[in-house]
């Protein structure tokens, strides 16, 4: 089973409503991974998740604590040697750690951000592309 670095927006979408993103994320067909920054970003938006999903903030916090069991979260020092290279690839400063982790692990990123595909080093899957790929390999 392969690692795939999951963009924060995908995780937020999975929390807010069940659907294709949620199903893919918890399909067991790949190992979802993220940099430390992923947890930081999700925790920063927990009130928004609660508001949009209709969940209580306590339930969101419980779900966030469980994500660490579903995801493999990597500490910055594990991919810090790739940050300089990632700066050149990432379209925005907030995305650098996601690219650095993908470079370190030699894996793809799952994101619908079109700007992610403006580089040719790290493979980037949209939700549709990832769904199609996983269905092909089933």
CATH of the domain at 54: 3.40.50.1010
**CA–CA dist 40, 125 (Å, integer):** 23
Evaluate whether 18 touches 52 at the Cβ level (below 8 Å). no
Crossing angle for the helix pair 46-53 and 8-16, nearest 10 degrees? 40
Higher-pLDDT residue of 62 and 88 is 88
Domain encompassing residue 130: 3-136
- The pLDDT confidence band at residue 138, using thresholds 50, 70 and 90, is low
How confident is the model over 49-63, as a mean pLDDT? 87
CB burial string 6-44: b at 16+ within 10 A, e below? bbbebbbbbbbeeeebbebbeeeebebbbbbbbbebbee
Q: Quote the CA–CA distance of 81 and 101 in Å, as a whole number.
A: 10
Measured CA distances, 134 to 33, 90, 106 (Å) = 17, 25, 18
Nearest partner of 127 among 3, 2, 6, 1, judged by Cα: 6
Instruction: Name the band, by pLDDT with cuts 50, 70 and 90, for residue 53.
Output: confident
82: which DSSP letter?
Answer: G
- pTM of the predicted model as reported, rounded to 2 decimal places: 0.91
Structural domains counted in the chain: 1
List the one residue out of 111, 79, 75 whose CA is nearest residue 92.
111
Distance, in Å, from the CA atom of 86 to the CA atom of 104, rounded to the nearest integer, reads: 10
């Amino acid at each position: 089973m392969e690692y795939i670095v999951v963009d924060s927006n995908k995780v937020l979408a999975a929390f807010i409503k069940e659907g294709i993103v949620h199903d893919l994320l918890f399909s067991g067909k790949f190992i979802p991974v993220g940099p430390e920054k992923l947890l930081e970003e999700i925790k920063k938006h927990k009130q928004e998740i609660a508001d949009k999903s209709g969940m209580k903030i306590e339930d969101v916090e419980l779900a966030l604590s469980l994500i660490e069991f579903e995801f493999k979260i990597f500490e910055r020092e594990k991919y810090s040697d790739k940050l300089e290279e990632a700066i050149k690839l990432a379209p925005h400063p907030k995305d650098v750690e996601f690219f650095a982790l993908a470079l370190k692990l030699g894996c793809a990123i799952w994101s619908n951000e079109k700007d992610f595909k403006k580089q040719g080093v790290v493979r980037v899957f949209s939700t549709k592309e990832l769904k199609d790929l996983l269905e092909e390999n089933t």
